[in-house]
Amino acid sequence: MGSPSPRRIRISPSAPTGAEESISGNGQAGHTGSPLLCTIRSFSKISRRSGGARPGMNSRTATDSPVRKTLWAWTVGTWFGVGLMRPGPGTWGSAAAALLWLLAGATLPHSPLPLSLLTLAAAFLAVAIGVPAATRVELESARPDPGHVVVDEVAGQWIALIHSRVDLSHLLAAFLLFRFFDILKPWPARRLERLPAGWGIMFDDVAAGVYALLVVQALQYWIGR
167 with 128, same domain: the answer is yes
> CB of 77 within 8 A of CB of 137?
yes
130 with 212, same domain: the answer is yes
179-186: long-range pairs with CB below 8 Å, 24+: 179/90, 179/91, 179/94, 180/212, 181/207, 181/208, 181/209, 181/211, 181/212, 182/90, 182/94, 182/153, 182/156, 182/208, 184/208, 186/211
Other Cβ atoms within 10 Å of 18 Cβ, number: 12
Alpha-carbon distance of 24 to 26, in angstroms, equals: 5
138 with 208, same domain: the answer is yes
What does the pLDDT average to over 117-137? 97
Backbone φ, ψ for residue 54 (5° rounding): -80, 150
27 with 92, same domain: the answer is no
- Using CB atoms within 10 A of its CB, is residue 20 exposed (0-12), middle (13-18) or buried (19+)? middle
Residues of the domain holding 201: 71-224
pLDDT of 133 reads 97
pLDDT of 48 reads 43
94 with 184, same domain: the answer is yes
30 with 106, same domain: the answer is no
pLDDT band at 77 (very low <50, low <70, confident <90, very high): very high
In percent, the amount of the chain with pLDDT more than 70 equals: 70
122 with 190, same domain: the answer is yes
Residue 3, in any domain of the structure:
no
Q: Which residues, at least 6 apart from 109, have a Cβ–Cβ distance to it below 8 Å?
A: none
Closest among 211, 208, 192 to 200, alpha carbons compared:
192
pLDDT band at 225 (very low <50, low <70, confident <90, very high): low
124 with 157, same domain: the answer is yes
85 with 39, same domain: the answer is no
| Residue 134 pLDDT greater than 80, yes or no | yes
- Using CB atoms within 10 A of its CB, is residue 118 exposed (0-12), middle (13-18) or buried (19+)? middle
- C-alpha distance across the termini of the chain, in Å: 133
78 with 162, same domain: the answer is yes
Q: Give the burial string for 63-81 (b: 16+ CB within 10 Å, else e).
A: eeeeeeebeebbebbbbee
Half-sphere exposure of 181 (CA within 13 A, CB side): 29
46 with 148, same domain: the answer is no
Residue 91, in any domain of the structure:
yes
pLDDT tens, residue by residue, 32-55: 445 444 444 543 443 444 444 333
pLDDT tens, residue by residue, 81-122: 999 999 999 999 999 999 999 999 988 877 788 999 999 999
128 with 192, same domain: the answer is yes
